[in-house]
Amino acid sequence: MDFELKTLAWAEACRLKCDALVALVTEQASGGADPLSRLVQEARKAGDLETKPGKLLHAYRADGISATRLVLAGGGDGSGKRVQAAIHAAMASLKGRAVKRLVICLHEAAQDDALRAAVTATAESSYVYVATKSKAEGRELQRVTIATPAQQPGHKQTFEAARAAAAGIEYARELGNLPPNLATPTRLGEEAKKLAKAHALTCEVLGPREVERLGMGSFMAVARGSEEPLRFIVLQYKGAAPSQPPVVLVGKGITFDSGGISIKPAGEMDEMKFDMSGAASVLGVFRALGELRPAVNVVGLIPSCENLPDGRAMKPGDVVTTMSGQTVEVLNTDAEGRLILCDALTYAERFKPAAVVDIATLTGACVIALGGVRSGLFASDDQLADALLQAGESALDLCWRMPLDDEYGDGLKTNFADMANVAGRPGGAITAAKFLQRFAGKFPWAHLDIAGTAWKGGAAKGSTGRPVGLLLQYLSMQAAAPVATKTPRRKAAAR
């Protein structure tokens, strides 16, 4: 889908020929004399139009308006969050209509957050999965014009960033939604190669032999139960001087998680195809980086394999040796995410990173803790945590900080190895993070548990593309204010 940004007063927007025009009506709506403004004033006076987000008023071939369909959409105070809600409502009301050409008129005072939300919310609500359907229906929308009455200095840049983010999010969703027989580790490797070629990125895809040579005994143990060969993907985007230490993103790439020998119940097991959402988000971020080219260095690491039961599969009780040399007793083969991430975290050390952020659909416990609204954020470094929290707020891709007190790690003790891969059920998202932290001592580290946010279940089942928006916002903040600041990094106290 094509997005364009135009500076257009409402009077001019009235004359745009299109299939649908969505006009944001905020609390401060202006009192212009053009047909659109007059319509808004009359409707509001009559009490037929509220400015609350979600409230809509439709018109067909309205007088003085060239658009076939007009949707007046309450936009509240005009903030990003309200604009997002307004556009979701307006787009839902246009579902099934033959809208190829759409114009969205923002309010006079639209700031960067509103513009960003307009682009990402439009892209989000018009996405339709067709990859494995026999007919590609529902993808009519071709061109979206975002019209702002007053162009502000940052608008152009914000718009370009939002457009690239939307493309990255869509790409992550598409990969996430693919069935597990297609989205294999091999396919993810091919996608990374394709991305690298199209966007001048560096890409290396390692297979079983190279991974064995690296000593990733933990990652290999997870892959052992599957016929699909594992892949370890290394992507690099170089936007800043080589002397700038990179941000390393590590994405969990389990393309199907059956639980292994500790097998999961059958109900909803299909949703474990989404267990590569962390990997998909890293690929989505790189796609956007390739388009935007911000002044920052980024490395993407993706350990990818299936977790299946088999005669050769790892068993409860097995002890594996990680790349770091630490040994792990596998008490539950379903806690496989941490077993592949730990080796990727050790591999990350070689980049002498400014920060490492891993992204993983890691625990059902995180879904219980935070539901589908906010991702779980764990960090060993307050500055990194604050930056990620703030990025999430700006991108409307929220997260919430969780604790890392050392006592939470006590349950990982075992008599037979340096640690076990699971503790008890209480605080399961935190004990998983404590496990990872043992492999992240050499750099500022954060962990995003996206188990609740990466996909939706039920009738709206599908990937969300989160947290591509958050990560891109964070990375562009790093480009604006380089990672190597003069103030010494604060270590997190007892977290």
Catalytic annotation, residues:
264, 338
Residue entry with tokens 């043992």: 438
Q: Does 278 bind ligand BES (CB under 6 A)?
A: no
Inter-helix orientation angle 112-126/80-93, to 10°: 30
* Residue 236-275 contact track with Mn ion, rule CB under 5 A, x = bound: ---------------------x------------------
**Spatial contact of 408 and 426, defined as CB atoms under 8 Å apart:** no
**Spatial contact of 95 and 130, defined as CB atoms under 8 Å apart:** no
- Which burial class, exposed, middle or buried, applies to 243 when counting CB atoms under 10 A from its CB (0-12, 13-18, 19+)? exposed
**Spatial contact of 24 and 86, defined as CB atoms under 8 Å apart:** yes
Q: Does 334 bind Mn ion (CB under 5 A)?
A: yes
- Cis check for the bond before 426: say yes or no (omega within 30 of 0): no
Tell me which of ligand BES, Zn ion, Mn ion, none is bound by residue 428, counting a contact when its beta carbon lies within the kind-specific cut-off of 5 to 8 angstroms. Answer: ligand BES
Please report how close the Cβ of residue 335 comes to ligand BES at its closest, in angstroms. 4
| Torsion region of 272: left, alpha or beta (phi above 0 gives left; psi -120 to 50 gives alpha) | alpha
**Spatial contact of 187 and 273, defined as CB atoms under 8 Å apart:** no
Tell me which of Mn ion, Zn ion, ligand BES, none is bound by residue 112, counting a contact when its beta carbon lies within the kind-specific cut-off of 5 to 8 angstroms. Answer: none
Q: Does 381 bind ligand BES (CB under 6 A)?
A: no
Binding-residue total with Zn ion (CB under 5 A): 4
Stretch in the footprint of ligand BES (CB under 6 A) among 69-77, 92-100, 322-330, 358-366 = 358-366
In which element (H, E) is residue 348 found? helix 337-348
Tell me which of Mn ion, ligand BES, Zn ion, none is bound by residue 363, counting a contact when its beta carbon lies within the kind-specific cut-off of 5 to 8 angstroms. Answer: ligand BES
* Residue 395-424 contact track with ligand BES, rule CB under 6 A, x = bound: ---------------------------x--
DSSP classification of residue 230: P
Nearest in space to 161 (alpha carbons), one of 477, 491, 482? 477
**Spatial contact of 397 and 467, defined as CB atoms under 8 Å apart:** yes
Please report how close the Cβ of residue 450 comes to ligand BES at its closest, in angstroms. 9
As a whole number of angstroms, the distance between CA 241 and CA 243 comes to 5
Q: Does 337 bind Zn ion (CB under 5 A)?
A: yes
In which element (H, E) is residue 477 found? helix 468-480
Q: Does 335 bind ligand BES (CB under 6 A)?
A: yes
Q: Map the footprint of ligand BES across residues 231-270, applying CB under 6 A.
A: 257
Q: State how far Cα 44 lies from the chain centre.
A: 38
Tell me which of Mn ion, ligand BES, Zn ion, none is bound by residue 207, counting a contact when its beta carbon lies within the kind-specific cut-off of 5 to 8 angstroms. Answer: none
Stretch in the footprint of ligand BES (CB under 6 A) among 9-17, 31-39, 228-236, 327-335 = 327-335
Nearest in space to 282 (alpha carbons), one of 304, 302, 256? 302
As a whole number of angstroms, the distance between CA 399 and CA 314 comes to 33
Smaller CB distance to Zn ion: residue 87 or 276? Answer: 276
Q: Does 334 bind ligand BES (CB under 6 A)?
A: yes
In which element (H, E) is residue 168 found? helix 155-177
Smaller CB distance to ligand BES: residue 307 or 476? Answer: 307
Q: How many CB atoms sit inside 10 A of residue 194's CB?
A: 13
Please report how close the Cβ of residue 321 comes to ligand BES at its closest, in angstroms. 21
As a whole number of angstroms, the distance between CA 157 and CA 162 comes to 9
**Which of 228, 257, 318, 329 touches Zn ion (CB under 5 A)?**
257
Binding-residue total with Mn ion (CB under 5 A): 3
As a whole number of angstroms, the distance between CA 463 and CA 175 comes to 8
Please report how close the Cβ of residue 109 comes to ligand BES at its closest, in angstroms. 40
Smaller CB distance to ligand BES: residue 148 or 363? Answer: 363
Backbone angles phi, psi at 463, to 5 degrees: -70, 150
**Most distant pair of Cα atoms in the chain: their distance:** 79
Tell me which of ligand BES, Mn ion, Zn ion, none is bound by residue 364, counting a contact when its beta carbon lies within the kind-specific cut-off of 5 to 8 angstroms. Answer: ligand BES
The CA-CA-CA angle for residues 255, 465, 85, to 5°, reads 150
Stretch in the footprint of Zn ion (CB under 5 A) among 40-48, 226-234, 337-345, 391-399 = 337-345
Q: Map the footprint of ligand BES across residues 450-479, applying CB under 6 A.
A: 451
Smaller CB distance to Mn ion: residue 122 or 363? Answer: 363
Binding-residue total with ligand BES (CB under 6 A): 16
**Which of 122, 184, 297, 363 touches ligand BES (CB under 6 A)?**
363
Count of CA atoms in the C-beta half-sphere (13 A) of 435: 33
Q: Does 337 bind ligand BES (CB under 6 A)?
A: yes
Smaller CB distance to Zn ion: residue 254 or 470? Answer: 254
Q: Map the footprint of ligand BES across residues 126-145, applying CB under 6 A.
A: none
Q: Map the footprint of ligand BES across residues 167-196, applying CB under 6 A.
A: none
Q: Does 306 bind Mn ion (CB under 5 A)?
A: no
As a whole number of angstroms, the distance between CA 434 and CA 406 comes to 8
Sequence-distant (6+) residues with CB within 8 A of 56 are 71, 72, 73, 74, 89, 90, 93
Residue entry with tokens 């779980």: 376
Stretch in the footprint of Mn ion (CB under 5 A) among 8-16, 119-127, 231-239, 328-336 = 328-336
The contact set with ligand BES (CB under 6 A) reads 257, 275, 332, 334-337, 361-365, 367, 422, 428, 451
The contact set with Zn ion (CB under 5 A) reads 254, 257, 275, 337
The contact set with Mn ion (CB under 5 A) reads 257, 334, 336
